[in-house]
Structure 1
Amino acid sequence: MNVIIPEETPRAPRLAGSVWSRPWPHILYALFIGLILQQFIIWFDEYWLKDTVKLASIALGITFIVELIYVLPVTVRLLLQLAGITAAHTLVLEGFIPLNADTGGTAGFLDILWYDLKLFDPYIWYVLAVWIIYAMLLRGLTTLYRVFCLLLFSIFSFSVMDSFSPLILWDQIAVILGSGLCLLIVRNYAEIERKHPASWRSMRRKPVRVLLPIVVTAGAVFAVGLTAPEWKPMVTDPYTAWKNSIGEPVSVKGKGGEDGDEDKKDSDSPKNAKSGYSRNDEKLGGGFDYSFTPVMTVDTSRKSYWRGETKSLYTGRGWKRGEEEGAPSQEAGYNQILKPFPGFDDSKLETEEVTQVFRMQKPHKPILFAAKGLEMIVDEQVKDAESVNSGHASASNGNITWVPREEELRWYDAGYPNSYTVVSRIPVIDEEALRKVPKTAGPAMQDYLELPPTLPDRVRALAQDIVKDAANPYDQAKAIESYLNLTYPYNPKPDVSKAGSYDFVDGFLFEIKEGYCDYYSTAMAVLARSIGLPSRWVKGYTAGEQPLDNFDYRGGMPPEAIMEQLEGPGTYTVRNSDAHSWVEIYFEGYGWIPFEPTAGFTMPLLAPEGEQLEQSETKAPDPAVPAAEDASSWPKATFIVSAIIVVFLAAAAVAAYLYKEAIADRVDRWRGRTPDRANQRLVAEFERYLRYARRKGLTRGEHETARETITRWSREYSWLQQDLAALLGLFEKAKYSPALLSEEELQGGLARIQSLRAALK
């Protein structure tokens, strides 16, 4: 007697705790949860510091990459993610800079470590919060209920913010909805693999049948969405309705305002706010929208540019700190004269003392701003504990660092001062004296003359051509300044697609031929170095502006007097749109002299009494009206849409080829040619019987045909031979023959199937 041993069904993978026991659903979960969290980071872009936003995005990327290494235990993965996040903070925030030149051994390492930890505040706390939320969601979204809760919370939050604020979050809602649907699909397939491994193996053998409908449907939706015409909102946005109710217009495009407002672009909206002070300058270029969010106010006895930091190493793409920059540094005590760098000589420079009180509305840790010629930080405005986030900061705890070589003042303690007072000695520019200064050379200037070896020769040739009529280094610098100021138009959104050069300055000078401050200042620094003038790149803020309502001009005061007061002592409001960069060139005996090459900008400089500085006559751009979007972006958009349509058509062609029989069947139905139902019914019942027989212990080879299986069963179970042979004949006629089964043949076949099923019970 033959003993029938049922095939062993593989054990289904199980859930270990809250983590999927197979890698593919876990990795896809990590991808789509990360995409959802990234939308929240985009939302917070206007409210967080730029470095915080950048580090939070990097933390999501590090977390996802480490999760790909699924073979590692969860604890190891978490530790690697934490280490990667710490390393990212060190790189982005320029950590591991020695506090002085004599650090070494364990004590020196601890000093550097403590330096970095202070530098990480407050960025690290926000980033760690993002990382913890990511880790919790990744290991906690194990039920449909939790996935739906995350989706509903996210969509509800973004919808409310979109409706009741100037933010436009449609794109983020679309990404969240798409990512959420993908999460549900992944979880559904993971459950199939876990609970029905046989069905999962069958699906894996024919993945096209599973994936192709999804790809085709998604491609069709995207193609229709991208090519559909844009319709104006039919219902006024709640935010717009509220603004209009109080008599204020809304010019944010897409917020559902009136027709006249829809065509205006509000560059002050958080959606478009891109301008501002950023500490990473390694890759310059691109464009920006203006943001008029206030960052600080400055009470000053004289208008000036507010200097932040300098950089000396030009890489061909942007600016980095040189090897010598940042050291030596020293603790800066209150009410003490800050020591100048001994390698620079400004003994002949005439200066004027200017006091400034900075009241910060947006932290810029670790940078403290001041006018050129910083001399002292005064204790009067920081004695009150309310002036500093973390309380009073004494001169002995090392919370303020002075870097004399770059003339930078830095705050490394917890928090960031809400206000501080500094005294500067602003240089008086004596042009006649500067014209008598020869070119400066020597080891101390080497970093400020260095250029990348890849700099194209035409940049050097242009520099020589610009200064060919200048008789001295100062006039050469002024010639470069005037050339850039007068030759290239200012545009916050230059057409960077014109740039084919690998060098940023070369692309600006010869290809793009327009730009904003970073283009002009970098170009002047490089051109100056090309002719042997030591130069360095400086960034900070322009002076800002005083409000008109500070002055009573109704009493017959002439406009000239009003403008003189607006440009004089007072309180200046500095905004994100005032972030700026310029150039300083070194003259022996006079130190670093600032220059303003950007078209439309005039640096407030002091001249000797009775003299007037030469200024290039250019029309300043109106920052309230940013440059229009360049039409060159349309070809790129058209190309993308065309590519999507081509992909969609190709996918449709593949689907038609793979499912040509099914399509032919559909066509027959549309034309009224319905195939015989008797054949289909018998084939379906026969295949169902084969599956039933397998469950009852009748084995079937993986690659056996129906005839081979029935023949073998007939030999092994002789009492079923007659019914099996008759049923096989009907099955082959129904499936392979063009002949149609009669109703009697169908009923006879179904009766034999019932008899065979009963025989196996």
Structure 2
Amino acid sequence: MISRKVQKDLMTFIMYIFGFLLLWEWLRPLEQLTDTSNIGVFLLFIFTSLLLSFTGTPVLIGGCIKWVFIVVALHILYIDEAFFQFKWVFVFITDFIESFQLVFASDWVNLSNLFRSFLFFVLLWLMTYLIQYWLINRMQILIFFFMTLVYITVLDTFTPYEAGLAIVRTVISGFAVLGMLTFFRLLDKEGIKKETTLSRKWMVPLVTMIVVSVGFGLAAPKAEPIWPDPVPYLTSYGKGSGEGTGVQKIGYGLDDSSLGGPFMGDNQVIFTVEAESRHYWKVETKDVYTGKGWITSGSREVRSPFGSADQVPITSFFNSPGIEMVKESSTVYSLTNNSHIVYPLGIQKIDAASFYSYELEVDTEKIHSLEGDSPASIKQYTLDYAVPRYSVTALNEASSEENIAVNNELINRYTQLPEDLPLRIQDLAKEITDGKDSWFEKARELERYFSRSGYTYDQKDVAIPADGEDYVDQFLFDTKQGYCDNFSTSMVVMARSIGIPARWVKGYTEGEYKGISESGSRMFEITNNNAHSWVEVYFPGIGWVPFEPTQGFSNSVQFNFDTASQSHDLPPEMNPEELEKDKPELKEINEKQPVANEGSFKKFFIPIENFFEAYWKMIALSILVLAVCAFVIYRIRGRWLPYYLTWRFKWTRKDENFQKAYLLLLRELDRYGLHRKDGQTLRDYADYIDRFFSSREMGRLTARYEQLIYRGSLQKGSWMETKELWENLIKKTIA
């Protein structure tokens, strides 16, 4: 049996402890920047592995102990069955086979959490072996120490992770290990026997040096940075190249069990679409709120297969007199290897190549795409769906006692809440909906509550609930700032607390409008930044109706307000006359140029060729001079470009020019140095500009621009009313 000859004195043990601390610094950021949880289990595995190495445990016995640890840990984390019944063995085998198939298909996104955790354990096993090898065999750990410093400083620079104390801890641990390894190397080189008195004589100066150095570094005054911050440059460079930047990125993910915390934007394009109207793109729903996030009550393995010729087995709403439906279709062009379908509300049919098939997760309504029996990414598919227009009268009548009794089982499922949910959440929901009778009126009040009660949209300064703290309670009463997950989860929980069935929906917003395609459809581009969550409320006899509580986002669902009283009760942005304007009038001009025949083209080209042969030197010099002039003009564009733009739009009176002028203003403000942050809403950016220039001009312009974006039209004369505001802001960018 192979065993290790390891020094088991106090200094070697201390050296192992510092090696453990260095490895710990690699794991600390994971809880904040990724979906990884239960870090304590992985730390215990590292400690156990290093302890086995220190005690000189034979390799075979140590390996068996580590394998048992991994199996038990995975069972505790992911399996509900009793350990000694061994039913989990089949679950492990099945999960690993499916995961290896996904690995060979390069579908890394859909790997199970169990398999990911297993791979992470293997990685930690390898890292602990390397630590032992560097410490005991090579007695050199400088490279690992340097890599640890680079790792935490990069995270500190480019992510929300604050690594100030981490750098101090790493320096202390690294210098201590380096000092002890140097001592051991000197003893080996000189053939000196290790003695306690000799070790003390070396360790006391080492500890003193580390304490003095660290103390002086912390206490000394800090000079201002000599070099400018590279992050804005790198970020802008990434944008210019069309690639997303950032370490932790927003986007669609599988694990929503622990919500909260900041994220960084990601401009990677996920898919593009040609659609007749704009709407959200759904991926899946979840029904169980845990107090920290969302999970699914049923199994993801319960699936309903169907083919391209079949009707999609999803019933979003019923064929009811209370719903008017308009048939539409969209074509999706996927740019990733995701093996799932994104689809709008009212999906009916998926049209793709005949060799593709599909499976619907019954409990989440997620649609998987398959080629044979393997997950497959479909690069292009067309969706047929019905766009609903809900009757408000029917929605108000849907929550009658008779309808509720018929749908009792479904209502119980979608009104689930944790037993320890703070009571003040329900009290707040009752206060918001006081005086409203129907579910629809109450849902509308909950949806509006966030826009008039001091809640703000924020992607960076977002809290993570502590142990024993409820995610929704923290957002509603303490922080009052967050992103879509905070708003949508809070509305679902408040609706459920007063008996209204609601569920949490994940997917993407409509994305960025890119113009008109050759087929006449509207083109949209959807990136990871468009990942979003919203709310669906169930109305008996009607079906699921989307609601949008998140600040800065608007609900594209259409309502038919049957009576005048309902219409007057609406806020201005939901006036039925405006809701009819779903699509702006868009025109495309095709100009056909005459094509010359081949003979006339040759006759025209010959004198040009002779001219270039005779004067190519002069032409090259002229091009060089023009290039230099163009470069100089470009470098001083801050002095003349605002005047040009002002002159360009001075005499125009068409309201259609407002959008182009506003986008040019954003570009000039960015050039001036007033950069818009990733994920920052236009309204927040306008507040920042107005504070910088001590004015209110940008806010007024942005309000008009939002009216154009969300309603699809402007009031007549809007450009003439706002042109002076625009000119004032443009002139302020003169540099």
Does residue 403 in structure 1 map to residue 398 in structure 2?
no
* Mapped partners of 1:335, 1:87: distance in 2: 46
Give the 5 Å matches for 1:99-114.
114=97
Letter in 1 for 2:477: F
* Mapped partners of 2:146, 2:431: distance in 1: 64
Deviation at 1:309, TM superposition (A): 2.1
* Mapped partners of 1:88, 1:521: distance in 2: 33
Between 1:474-483 and 1:329-338, the stretch displaced more is 329-338
* Mapped partners of 1:500, 1:158: distance in 2: 26
Does residue 546 in structure 1 map to residue 513 in structure 2?
yes
Q: Which of 482, 492, 498 is equivalent to 1:515?
A: 482
Q: Which of 436, 442, 445 is equivalent to 2:397?
A: 436
Q: Which of 461, 475, 496 is equivalent to 2:441?
A: 475
> Measured at CA, do residues 375 and 185 of structure 1 come closer, stay the same or move farther in structure 2, by a change above 3 Å?
farther
2:426 alignment partner, SS class:
helix
> Measured at CA, do residues 166 and 299 of structure 1 come closer, stay the same or move farther in structure 2, by a change above 3 Å?
farther
Deviation at 1:534, TM superposition (A): 0.6
* Mapped partners of 2:260, 2:151: distance in 1: 34
Q: Which of 177, 181, 187 is equivalent to 1:187?
A: 181
Contact 2:270 2:336 in 1 (8 A): yes
Deviation at 1:592, TM superposition (A): 1.6
1:277 alignment partner, SS class:
coil
- Greater Cα radius of gyration, structure 1 or 2: 1
Per-residue CA shift, 1:635-681, capped at 9, x if unaligned? xxxxxxxxxxxxxxxxxxxxxxxxxxxxxxxxxxxxxxxxxxxxxxx
Gaps of 5+ in 1: 1-14, 98-103, 241-248, 256-266, 384-392, 553-564, 629-761
Contact 1:59 1:85 in 2 (8 A): no
2:23 alignment partner, SS class:
helix
* Mapped partners of 2:126, 2:572: distance in 1: 54
Q: Which of 517, 528, 542 is equivalent to 1:590?
A: 542
> Measured at CA, do residues 118 and 424 of structure 1 come closer, stay the same or move farther in structure 2, by a change above 3 Å?
farther
Q: Which of 557, 579, 583 is equivalent to 1:605?
A: 557
Give the 5 Å matches for 1:97-496.
114-115=97-98, 117-118=100-101, 122=108, 127=120, 130-131=123-124, 133-134=126-127, 137-141=130-134, 142-144=136-138, 147-148=141-142, 150=144, 180-188=174-182, 199-202=194-197, 214=206, 217-226=209-218, 228=220, 230-235=222-227, 250=233, 269-270=245-246, 273-322=248-297, 324=298, 326=300, 328-340=302-314, 346-348=318-320, 349-361=323-335, 368-380=341-353, 394-395=356-357, 400-410=358-368, 417=377, 419-421=379-381, 423=383, 425-430=385-390, 431-438=392-399, 440=404, 441-487=407-453, 488-494=455-461, 496=463
Q: Which residue of 2 aligns with 1:246?
A: none
Once the two structures are aligned, what percentage of the paired residues are identical?
Answer: 23
Per-residue CA shift, 1:681-737, capped at 9, x if unaligned? xxxxxxxxxxxxxxxxxxxxxxxxxxxxxxxxxxxxxxxxxxxxxxxxxxxxxxxxx
Contact 2:433 2:446 in 1 (8 A): yes
Deviation at 1:157, TM superposition (A): 10
Gaps of 5+ in 2: 82-86, 238-242, 575-675, 686-735
The TM-score with structure 2 as length reference comes to 0.59
Give the 5 Å matches for 1:617-636.
624-625=679-680
Deviation at 1:339, TM superposition (A): 2.2
* Mapped partners of 1:497, 1:227: distance in 2: 32
Contact 2:508 2:531 in 1 (8 A): yes
1:275 alignment partner, SS class:
coil
**What's the RMSD between the two structures over aligned residues?**
5.3
* Mapped partners of 2:96, 2:330: distance in 1: 33
Q: Which residue of 2 aligns with 1:571?
A: 523
Q: Which of 500, 503, 528 is equivalent to 1:533?
A: 500
Contact 1:378 1:421 in 2 (8 A): yes
1:417 alignment partner, SS class:
coil
1:435 alignment partner, SS class:
helix
Deviation at 1:224, TM superposition (A): 4.4
Contact 2:415 2:499 in 1 (8 A): yes
Deviation at 1:585, TM superposition (A): 0.9
Between 1:579-588 and 1:354-363, the stretch displaced more is 354-363
* Mapped partners of 2:442, 2:222: distance in 1: 53
The TM-score with structure 1 as length reference comes to 0.57
> Measured at CA, do residues 509 and 145 of structure 1 come closer, stay the same or move farther in structure 2, by a change above 3 Å?
closer
Q: Which residue of 1 aligns with 2:718?
A: none
Contact 1:480 1:528 in 2 (8 A): yes
* Mapped partners of 2:369, 2:49: distance in 1: 34
Letter in 1 for 2:59: V
Between 1:109-118 and 1:295-304, the stretch displaced more is 109-118
* Mapped partners of 1:152, 1:63: distance in 2: 20
Letter in 2 for 1:419: K
Q: Which of 66, 69, 74 is equivalent to 2:59?
A: 74
Contact 1:55 1:127 in 2 (8 A): no
Between 1:125-134 and 1:591-600, the stretch displaced more is 125-134
Q: Which residue of 2 aligns with 1:24?
A: 13
Number of positions where the alignment pairs a residue of Structure 1 with one of Structure 2: 537
> Measured at CA, do residues 145 and 596 of structure 1 come closer, stay the same or move farther in structure 2, by a change above 3 Å?
same
* Mapped partners of 1:605, 1:289: distance in 2: 29
* Mapped partners of 2:270, 2:171: distance in 1: 35
> Measured at CA, do residues 152 and 490 of structure 1 come closer, stay the same or move farther in structure 2, by a change above 3 Å?
closer
* Mapped partners of 1:372, 1:168: distance in 2: 38
Deviation at 1:291, TM superposition (A): 3.5
Contact 1:546 1:570 in 2 (8 A): yes
> Measured at CA, do residues 158 and 527 of structure 1 come closer, stay the same or move farther in structure 2, by a change above 3 Å?
closer
* Mapped partners of 1:356, 1:311: distance in 2: 25
* Mapped partners of 1:405, 1:378: distance in 2: 23
2:233 alignment partner, SS class:
coil
Deviation at 1:524, TM superposition (A): 0.7
Contact 1:353 1:423 in 2 (8 A): no
Deviation at 1:481, TM superposition (A): 0.6
* Mapped partners of 1:505, 1:333: distance in 2: 40
* Mapped partners of 1:330, 1:200: distance in 2: 72
Contact 1:306 1:369 in 2 (8 A): yes
2:552 alignment partner, SS class:
coil
> Measured at CA, do residues 301 and 154 of structure 1 come closer, stay the same or move farther in structure 2, by a change above 3 Å?
same
Contact 1:489 1:514 in 2 (8 A): yes
> Measured at CA, do residues 535 and 219 of structure 1 come closer, stay the same or move farther in structure 2, by a change above 3 Å?
farther
* Mapped partners of 1:189, 1:527: distance in 2: 64
Deviation at 1:202, TM superposition (A): 3.8
* Mapped partners of 1:604, 1:212: distance in 2: 70
